[in-house]
Structure 1
Amino acid sequence: MSKSPKMPKKKCCSDKPACKRCPLRMMKEGTLPEGYTVKKRKLVKVDGKGKKSSSKSSKIAA
């Protein structure tokens, strides 16, 4: 039985020592899934151009 890689938490809880699913720890170790990064201790999905994607940016005022 093979273990699938665990997804990181959505937000870092700042516990000491850092938990196994901490996004900061996973980014430092290089185990963060492709297409994700950490900004302000929160997990952020990145689009293909290196910019973070947001629902706010997709809404354009008419």
Structure 2
Amino acid sequence: MNGRGLPVAGKADGGPGTNLDLTGHGLVQVFEARSGTTCPGLPREPEGAFTALADFHRT
């Protein structure tokens, strides 16, 4: 978990028990030590499912 209580992607051992992106169905990937590129300054990056849902609701 990061300082905001959100699960963190890419822990050292990379196993499904510690990397919740491998086991979850999240819409964003959360980073512990860096910002995303889509929304600079925020520690997350949208997953493909996020974009698919956004596109669906735009129409």
Q: TM-score scaled by structure 2?
A: 0.27
Structure number with larger C-alpha Rg: 1
* Richer in helix (by share): 2
